[in-house]
Structure 1
Amino acid sequence: MISTYKYQGVTWLDLESPTEDELMHIISEYNVPEVLFNDLITETLLSRVDSYKDMLYLVLHFPRIHNEKRMPDLEIDFILGKDFLITIHYEFSNALHDFAKQLEVEAMLSNKLPGSHAGYIFHAILIEAYHQAGSKLNDLYQMMEQVKEKIFNGHEDRMVNDLSHINRKILDFRQAMRFHGSILDSFEHASIKIFGADYTVYVSNMRSEYHKILGILEGHRDLLIDLRETNDSLLSAKTNKTMRILTIMSFTTFPLTLIATLIAMITDVAVIKTFTQFIYISISLILIGILILLHFKNRRWLL
């Protein structure tokens, strides 16, 4: 599907899941190097930027976070000319969709597009994508806050899987955006010949937004490490307490069992002829058990 938007003499074509015929038509109409055809119809594993005579080609990956299932990164290919921008992607993009709605309401973009070439539209799209990435990181933070509450409410044993899932999301996020910094550096140098030296200010702005995302991501990673260490400590303490209780129960019941067994071995069972005698023996065993527990408490084995 091809969606076309025009703004101040600039054409933006958004291709979502295009067919080969649609790609060939766009390549022919905008004189895109045919060598890019294979790159446009297949997935590109690494982000990149290529410079041609009068256009630039970029591949950027963006993270997609879902609460229940793992989702692959979103790849968006950008082809920038002086007065046109082409975006190609094979999955739905919230950032592109939201920006397209903004572009349809021209008044909303008076502060976003200060100029009339494709570089400004690219800048606005990338800023929107980074803002949405920040929103996803905020969702991750809320998830960690919920986990923190559960950890300190005694559910640390249930939080091991939750912490692992959050860690995987953070790793996927970092994996998707790890090359953006170097791509923007290369893009800055290549964009001068098409958009002029003044455009470097906007590239710096994009880089600044990217580093904000990195800073938030590192903060989330540090918080996750602290939560995992705290959870492990509490879980270890709970396990040790359980083992201590089981050990004390064993040391308490073993002497009583031994005494009862010895009495049965050295005396005739018939010697317990009355209920009163049974009570005496039972009370004696209970008193011995209490003395053992008092000894454990005095040694601070019972907390």
Structure 2
Amino acid sequence: MVRTRLYRNGVLAEKGFPIAEVSDHVSDPRNVIWFDLCSPTPADLGVIAEELGLHELAVEDVLNDHQRPKLDVYDSHLFLTVYGVHLDDGILDPVEISVFVTPNALVTVRENAHFDIDEVVRRWDGNGRLAEHGVSFLLHGLLDVVVDGHFELIQEFDGMVEELENELFSGDLGNKEMQRRTFGMRKNMVGFRRAVLPMREVVNSLIRRDLHIVGPAMAPYYQDVYDHALRVAEWADSLRELIGNIRETHLTQQGFHMNEIMKKVTSWAAIIAVPTMITGFYGQNVPYPGAGQAWGFWTSTLLVVAVSATLYAAFKKRDWL
């Protein structure tokens, strides 16, 4: 599916036109073009590259998945790689978005349809007064949606980590479930940091004056995106450390619980050893005091009970039982 838009002199003039007409519109400096490709074929990218004069290395990066978020500068255009992120059944699902930026055209190439491009369009329509700034306006709307998505997800992660902390000390989860959830959170956070941390460099590089992309009027808006990206990166580092602390605390709890079990087992073994020793002694086939008499039986029985009770009281006082 191909989405197209044409802005002329800062006003939305046309949308939904065939992609074959892009080259005709781009030739007019008054026009600013945006079109979006979702899961395009190499042949589709080849046509676009020829129409806009895109560098072959940039096109190659689009075809090779899992690029690092970055900004590449070529003679006739810029090339960006960013990631939209969301959770799919509790698992992080990053969507790679490749962006070509020319003086009067913005091309977005999505890895799949899991990134909501309609939200970007709504963001543009909601800030139509800035459309006069051309490609800078379109690129800001895209990056704003991407970074806002990062911010929403890090808030969700923060809630999940807080819930995990509460369950850690309440003991509601078993060891296997706690380990599974901690490992899943840690894995999601690793993928999240890989997708969002480089965004600071990407946005900061766009603000550079020598690129001539962000003018003075749009600079505050890009600075706002940069501040959000910086906050997300710092928040992600904090949550990563918290998840590590939760894992270490859980392991410490397991060790402490094992020590408690060992103390109880040892205490009971000591208590059981006393009657075993006494009855074993009186069970030998040799004469002993009170053998064959009632007072001998009661003496050994009382001795077993008294010593066992004494040991039980001593262990209970030390909180070993």
Question: TM-score scaled to structure 2, two decimals?
Answer: 0.79
Matched, 1:234 2:239: no
Secondary structure at the counterpart of residue 283 of structure 2: helix
What is the CA-CA distance between 1:148 and the residue it aligns to?
Answer: 1.8
Matched, 1:174 2:196: no
Question: Which residue identity is paired with 2:230?
Answer: H
Distance in 2 (CA, whole Å) between partners of 1:218 and 1:251 is 50
Larger RCO (CA within 8 A; separation ≥ 6)? 1
8 Å contact kept, 2:84–2:115: no
Q: 2:55 aligns with which of 33, 43, 53?
A: 33
Tell me which moved more, 219-228 or 61-70.
Answer: 61-70
8 Å contact kept, 2:158–2:239: yes
**More helix by percentage:** 1
Cα distance per residue 1:227-247 (max 9 Å; x no partner): 334433433322211111111
Question: Which residue identity is paired with 1:5?
Answer: R
Distance in 2 (CA, whole Å) between partners of 1:131 and 1:148 is 26
**Structure 1, unaligned stretches of length 5 or more?**
none
8 Å contact kept, 1:95–1:129: no
Question: Which residue identity is paired with 1:186?
Answer: S
What is the CA-CA distance between 1:42 and the residue it aligns to?
Answer: 2.0
* Correspondence for 1:3: 3
Cα distance per residue 1:35-56 (max 9 Å; x no partner): 4332222225323322233421
Question: Which residue identity is paired with 2:169?
Answer: F
What is the CA-CA distance between 1:168 and the residue it aligns to?
Answer: 1.9
Cα distance per residue 1:230-273 (max 9 Å; x no partner): 433433322211111111111111122122211111458xx679
* Correspondence for 2:99: 78
What is the CA-CA distance between 1:210 and the residue it aligns to?
Answer: 0.6
Matched, 1:252 2:271: yes
What is the CA-CA distance between 1:207 and the residue it aligns to?
Answer: 1.4
Cα gap change, 1:134 to 1:193, in 2 (>3 Å): closer
Query: How many residues of Structure 1 are paired with residues of Structure 2 in the alignment?
Result: 295
What is the CA-CA distance between 1:100 and the residue it aligns to?
Answer: 3.1
Matched, 1:139 2:168: no
Identity percentage of aligned residues? 18
Cα gap change, 1:43 to 1:295, in 2 (>3 Å): closer
Matched, 1:51 2:70: no
Provide the aligned C-alpha RMSD in A: 3.1
Cα distance per residue 1:99-135 (max 9 Å; x no partner): 23555xx3x3346x45341111111111111111111
Cα gap change, 1:196 to 1:145, in 2 (>3 Å): closer
Matched, 1:163 2:182: yes
Cα gap change, 1:155 to 1:44, in 2 (>3 Å): closer
Secondary structure at the counterpart of residue 115 of structure 1: helix
Tell me which moved more, 42-51 or 131-140.
Answer: 42-51
What is the CA-CA distance between 1:280 and the residue it aligns to?
Answer: 6.6
Question: Which residue identity is paired with 1:162?
Answer: R
Secondary structure at the counterpart of residue 248 of structure 1: helix
Distance in 2 (CA, whole Å) between partners of 1:272 and 1:90 is 91
Q: 1:98 aligns with which of 81, 96, 119?
A: 119
